[in-house]
Amino acid sequence: MSAAALETTVHDAAGVVLRYRLKHTGQSSDRLGACEVCNRHASEVFHLTGAMLYERAAKPDSDPGRFGWTHHKCVDLFGHRDCVASHRAGTLVMSLPDDRGDPNFRTVIGGVDVLIGRDAEGFKVHIADRYEAVRSTLLRAYRFAEEAVNHPERRRPITALD
Q: What is the pLDDT of residue 1?
A: 45
Question: How far apart are alpha carbons 17 and 137 in whole angstroms?
Answer: 8
Phi (first) and psi of residue 57, to 5 degrees: -65, -30
Beta bridge partners, 99, equal: none
Residue whose C-alpha is closest to residue 125's, from 112, 142, 101, 108: 142
Length of the chain: 162
Q: What is the pLDDT of residue 48?
A: 95
With 0.85 as the threshold, say if the pTM is over it. no
CA distances from 31 to 10, 20, 22, 36 (A): 30, 24, 19, 13
Question: How far apart are alpha carbons 104 and 125 in whole angstroms?
Answer: 10
Q: Are 148 and 112 in contact (CB under 8 A)?
A: no
Averaged pLDDT in 10-residue chunks for the chain of 162 residues: 80 93 92 93 94 80 74 92 95 84 85 89 90 92 91 60 53
Phi (first) and psi of residue 70, to 5 degrees: -130, 145
Q: What is the pLDDT of residue 59?
A: 63
Q: What is the pLDDT of residue 99?
A: 66
Going by C-beta distance under 8 Å and a sequence separation of 6 or more, which residues neighbour residue 6? 22, 23, 24, 46
